Amino acid sequence: MGRSGAGRIIAIVVSLVITAATVGLLYIAFVDSANTPQTTFQAMSENGQKAQDVYTLIFILAGIVFAGVMALTLIFSLVYREREGGKALQLHGNSKLEVLWTFIPVLIVVVMAVPTFQVIAETTGAAPEESLTVQAVGHQWWFEFDYPELGVVTAGDLHLPVDRPVRVILQSKDVIHSFWVPQLSGKVDMVPGHDNQLWFTPNTPGEYLGQCAEFCGISHANMRFRVFVHTQADFDAWVQGQLAEAATPTEGLAAEGAQQFTLSGCIGCHTVKGNALAMGVVGPNLTHFASRTRLAGGMAENNEAELRRWLSNPPAMKPGSIMPNLNLSPEAIDKLVAYLQTLQ
């Protein structure tokens, strides 16, 4: 019947120490991972916070089950390891124990289920009336953001006011994508033919990282976006800026760039409000392109060098890019860059 006396106590203590040490180390690593830029564990919105409370609770329960099973496995392995002349207890079972260990999981499940259901009921229903509506449209491989009430259309960067609920209507132009800003909310898929919805109330101004979470083809990894949560005043200012039409430059390289933009066929895919020819809808709306922080589905910083790299060969930068390599000459690129940078 296994070790007895001191041997048994030592075995149990050793097992418990190993278990405690493991749990401790894992805890440190978990906390460390929770402090990363795209963390799923630092909610910055009301609904996000509710979900995270459930997450925390479930995490603790998981930790307890983990520690319990680990400790028992270790203890039994050490205490009941074969010994010379040892005898095994001839047991077939024990109904009391069976009931007990059916009851423990039932209890755990109930403790997890009740708050889960509450939170789901609170957060997945219709968004509050006063919400700001944003239409987020997934494209292979970039995000488009429309504000139907404000008349703003942009891509890659989503701007939101703080402390106001936002209703995100999720759509897709091609395959399934998924809208995920871990710090603001759990993800919801963008399914072609289905309008999904998601709502949350950001409660802290700042910059949050988002990424497409549903495998959507070759450049799924490169389909990212950012969310900027502003004070109401800053948000209003941003909206004002976006509502302005782009002035077509009339002199210098930028003016040549504006022509080049037509010549190279960019207008077929891109819209620039204020440029009557540029009405394409295949690619992102470029009216205020230069005011964006990121380029090409959040892949790269929006600066001159990256823009050149992009224009000289999009598929080389982003595998599979729907924007083809237009074989632009260096001069053409110079012009286009100058033009694009005026689109504030």
Partner 1 sequence: MATAVGTLSHTEDRSRIWEWMTTVDHKKIAALYGVTGFIFFLIGGIEATLVRTQLAVPNGNVIDADLFNQLFTTHALTMIFLAIMPMGASFFNYLIPLQIGARDVAFPRLNALGYWTYLTGAVMLTSSFFLGGAPNGGWFAYAPLTSLEYAAGKNLDFYTVSLLILGVSSLMGSLNFAVTIINMRAPGMTMMRLPVYMWMTLVVSFLLILSLPIITVALVQLYFDRNFGTNFFTPDTGGDPILWQHIFWLFGHPEVYVLILPSMGIVSEVLPVMSRKPLFGYSAIVFAGAAIGVLGFAVWSHHMFTTGLGTVPQIVFSASTMAIGIPTGIKIFNWLGTMYGGNIRFTTATYFSVAFIFLFTIGGISGVMHASPAVDGQHQDSYFVVAHIHYVLFGGAIMGIFSGIFYWFPKMTGRFLDETSGKWTFWLLFVGMNLTFFPMHFLGLAGMPRRIYTYDEGLGWETWNLVATVGVYVIIVGVSIFIVNFFRTMRQPQTAGDNPWDAATLEWATSSPPPEHNFDVVPEVHDRDPLWYNRDHGIAPAAKPEHLHIHLPPPSYMPLVVAMGVALLGIGGLSHVAVAVLGVAVVVYGIWGWALEPTE
- Told to check if 337 binds ligand HEC by CB under 6 A, we report no
Beta bridge partners of 210: 225
The minimum distance between CB 265 and ligand CUA, in angstroms, equals 26
C-alpha 207/C-alpha 157 separation (Å) is: 10
| Count of CA atoms in the C-beta half-sphere (13 A) of 117 | 6
The minimum distance between CB 161 and partner 1, in angstroms, equals 23
C-alpha 280/C-alpha 14 separation (Å) is: 69
Tokens at 42, concatenated: 């630092």
Residues of span 129-148 touching ligand CUA by CB under 6 A = 138, 141
Residues of span 21-50 touching partner 1 by CB under 8 A = 29-30, 32-41, 50
The minimum distance between CB 184 and ligand HEC, in angstroms, equals 21
- Told to check if 296 binds ligand CUA by CB under 6 A, we report no
Given ligand CUA, ligand HEA, partner 1, none, residue 138, with its beta carbon under 5 to 8 Å by kind, binds ligand CUA
Instruction: Sheet containing 206-211: give its strands across.
Output: 157-161, 224-230, 206-211
Q: Which residue in 336, 318, 334, 47 sits closest to 156, CA to CA?
A: 318
- Told to check if 282 binds ligand HEC by CB under 6 A, we report yes
C-alpha 152/C-alpha 240 separation (Å) is: 9
- Told to check if 66 binds partner 1 by CB under 8 A, we report yes
Residues that bind ligand HEA (CB under 6 A): 65, 69, 105, 108-109
Q: What is the dihedral of CA 125, 127, 129, 132, to 10 degrees?
A: -170
Q: Given the rule CB under 6 A, which residues bind ligand HEC?
A: 141-142, 155-156, 261, 264-266, 268-270, 282-284, 286, 289, 292, 295-297, 311, 318, 321-324, 326, 328, 336, 340
Binding residues vs ligand CUA (CB under 6 A): 138, 141, 177, 212, 214-216, 220, 223
